[in-house]
Amino acid sequence: MSGTFPIPTGSLLALGAILFCIGLYGALTKRNLIIVLVSIELMLNAANINLVTFSRLGVAPNISGQVFALFTITVAAAEIAVGLALLLAIFRVRRTTEVQDLDVHKH
Amino acid sequence: MQFFLNAPMIGFYIISLCILGCAVMLLSFQRVIYMALAIGGVFIGCAAIYILLGADFVGAAQLLIYAGAITILIMFAIMLTNHEAADPPHKWTPRNILSAVGAVLLGAVLLLVIRSTTWPPAVDADVNGGNSNPVAVGLALFQNYTVPFELVSLLLIVGMVGAVILARERKEDEDE
């Protein structure tokens, strides 16, 4: 068991916040649909860092935060599988993965 | 400020630098396949952070699921679609400027709030209740979170079947 090291909470939360903002910028500006999905995964990872950080705090520090992080990881795996399957289905019809080419009215 | 000098803090800063560097590379690369490699670096860095925080099992799950499975899945998706795809050089279009301003504003507000809050001092809290970390996670999963755990397995089954059905080659697609 490696134990917990006293890393200040503020630094960890700041790392999560910056990672979340980078993911948000990527999700809003990237043109490739795969990279937009990846940016959303980045934001989920930032939330996971916060969950694991908060698991050490509180009146009675317990393991719930880590369990929540595990649930988030599982849901993210399901989400990316369905998202990439949708992307393949779209690519088969439209022959493109660019976000702006998927607009129905322009097609 | 002695905590700035101990080994875990130095490790934390190096890992954070790697994560943020990989994330910025993800934004700045042109080729899509390089972006997938950069996201692998971010996932591995996050796993290192979890292990540094004492969450060994979450770190291992992160390595297996994110760095292993999801990165490879993304690479497969890129290879199955147009793998030569590249983003055009970055231009400051109105949409990019608005997104950047929004992201920077959100980040500034979050960082200000984090800075202005007094967090309880980071203690060597024993969250595992005397067991090793995987044992503690397993006990929590099967004692307190049994129903969510079973629901998540249902979600995974539904997601897997849905992905297979969605990605399957269909007859009517070939007729078009």
User: What domains are defined for chain A?
Assistant: 9-102 (1.10.287.3510)
What's the N-to-C CA distance of chain A in angstroms? 57
Residue-level pLDDT at A10: 87
User: Nearest-CA neighbor of A45 among B173, B148, B50?
Assistant: B50
Are A88 and B80 in contact by the 8 Å Cβ rule? The answer is yes
Please report the ipTM that was assigned to this predicted complex.
0.87
Nearest CB among A24, A45, A52 relative to B55 is that of: A52
pLDDT score at B30 = 84
Q: Which of B2, B140, B59 is nearest to A4 (CA)?
A: B59
**What is the distance between the alpha carbons of residues B70 and B78, in angstroms, rounded to a whole number?**
12
Neighbours of B121 (CB within 10 A): 10
Q: Are B106 and A16 in contact (CB under 8 A)?
A: no
Q: Look at residues B96, B97, B115, B95 and name the one whose alpha carbon lies nearest to residue B107.
A: B115
d(CA B62, CA B135) in angstroms, rounded, equals 17
Q: How confident is the model at residue B123 (pLDDT cuts 50, 70, 90)?
A: low
Which one, of B109, B56, B111, B42, lies nearest residue A11 by Cα?
A: B111
Count Cα neighbours of B132 within 13 Å in the Cβ-side half-sphere.
6
Q: Which residues of A touch B43 (CB under 8 A)?
A: 45
Two structure tokens written together for B90: 């970055």
Whether pLDDT at B74 is above 50:
yes
pLDDT at res. B5: 64
Q: Please report the number of interchain residue pairs, chain A to chain B, with beta-carbon separation below 8 angstroms.
A: 263
Tell me the backbone φ, ψ of residue A81, rounded to 5 degrees: -65, -50
Query: Is the Cβ pair A97, B27 closer than 8 Å?
Result: no
Structure tokens that stand for A27 in this block: 């999700």
Average pLDDT over residues B101-106: 93
Q: How far is B128 from chain A (nearest CA, A)?
A: 6
Residue B122 lies in a domain: no
Q: Are A43 and A25 in contact (CB under 8 A)?
A: no
Inside any domain, residue B151: yes
Which residues from A are below 8 Å from B137, CB to CB?
63, 66-67, 70
- Inside any domain, residue B152: yes
B104 within a domain of the structure (yes/no): no
pLDDT (0 to 100) of residue B40: 92
Q: Does A60 reach chain B within 8 Å, measured CB to CB?
A: no
Q: Is any Cβ of chain B less than 8 angstroms from the Cβ of A86?
A: yes
Among A23, A71, A75, CA closest to A46: A23
Mean pLDDT along residues B22-29: 90
Q: Which residue of A has its CA nearest to B38?
A: A38
Residue of B30, B23, B28, B24 whose CA lies nearest to B45: B23
Count the domains in chain B.
1
Q: Region A33-55: what's the mean pLDDT?
A: 91
Of A35, A49, A74, Cβ closest to residue B49: A49
Distance from CA of A40 to the nearest CA of B (A): 11
**Cβ <8 Å between A64 and B57:** no
